[in-house]
Amino acid sequence: MHLVVGATGRLGGAVATHLLARGERVRVLVRPRDPDRDQVRALTPERLLALGAELVEGDLTRPDTVARALEGVRRVLSTASATKRAGHGTLETVDTKGTDTLARAARTAGVRQFVYVSAHLADPDGTRPVLREKGLAERAIAASGVPATVLRPTKFMQDWIGALLVRQLRESDSAGAARVQLVGSGDVPASFVDEDDVAALAVAVLARDETIGETLTLATEVDTYRGLVERIQRLAGTTFALESVAVGERVTTLEGPLAATVTALLTSVATSPPDTVTTPDVAARFGLRSTGIDAFLRRSLAG
């Protein structure tokens, strides 16, 4: 039996779906229904049930529910995170303390493999909150003694290209003036991976004991944001305005909380060191498809 924590989210949902499709027994730990949560869920608990999953209601911030969910479980995958779930836990209570709770309970339950989705550049001593909490989570997993495989994907194309650039373009186009805004010059290289390839890697390592003890980075392609905008213009066969707002200013192509989120992410890109990592060796080892940025963009521009 596999336990997937995070199956109502995008990555965990994809992994649970793949595992069920190949005939594995999958239990999913899901938080109780909530109207706010339901709005952002990639898969509903009802959908997971219909796909053949066994549902257990629980919450990583409630240790009693975690121990119960682990009964009879051989392998655990956790993608659980508060990053996109503001108001329902924090990076500290979910990503770090919740992962610590899950890892220690998995060790007590005699789980054979714990697969954790962390992030590239996770660092317990770092200054960026997400990367620090992921680094602390990795440290807690190691301290728990549970046999673990850690995955460290770089930026998901769906979030960092689709939601930041393609969405800006669509919304500004429907408002009558197609344009994309970047924070800063847009010249800092960043590394990207398609979320579906991360799901495929997670499914692959769940079947391979030899990955226990490994930390695997997954990164497909590098570009700057200015370069990404040029690709979109080429692939969409259209030109649109590219504008730059200063660090500390807000993008004006979007409204409300979305504008704040997009500004925060673009600011983080503008103020991060260059990241040029790619991992063709990992893709080759696990036979991953490795969707490139152009292929991802063609799909999202058509969708």
Which residues in this chain contact ligand NAP in the complex, by CB under 6 A? 5-12, 29, 31, 37, 41-42, 59-61, 79-85, 88-89, 94, 98, 117, 119, 153, 155-156, 159-160
10-21 and 195-205 helices, crossing angle to 10°: 50
Largest Cα–Cα distance of the chain, in whole Å? Answer: 58
What minimum distance in Å lies between the beta carbon of 98 and ligand NAP? 5
Q: Is 103 helix (H, G, I), strand (E, B) or coil?
A: helix
What minimum distance in Å lies between the beta carbon of 175 and ligand NAP? 26
Nearer to ligand NAP, 153 or 186 (CB): 153
Nearer to ligand NAP, 58 or 186 (CB): 58
Nearer to ligand NAP, 10 or 104 (CB): 10
Q: How many CB atoms lie within 10 A of CB 298?
A: 14
Q: Which of 170, 183, 165 is nearest to 269 (CA)?
A: 183
Nearer to ligand NAP, 117 or 245 (CB): 117
What minimum distance in Å lies between the beta carbon of 148 and ligand NAP? 15
What minimum distance in Å lies between the beta carbon of 10 and ligand NAP? 4
Q: How far apart are CA 1 and CA 110, in angstroms?
A: 13
What minimum distance in Å lies between the beta carbon of 121 and ligand NAP? 9
Q: How far apart are CA 299 and CA 294, in angstroms?
A: 9
Residue nearest to ligand NAP as judged by C-beta position: 9
- The neighbouring-strand residues paired with 30 are 57
Strand pairing class (179-183; 241-245):
parallel
Nearer to ligand NAP, 34 or 249 (CB): 34
Nearer to ligand NAP, 79 or 181 (CB): 79
- The neighbouring-strand residues paired with 114 are 76, 148
Q: How far, in whole angstroms, is CA 237 from its chain's centroid?
A: 30
What minimum distance in Å lies between the beta carbon of 137 and ligand NAP? 9
> Is 225 in contact with 181 (CB distance < 8 Å)?
no
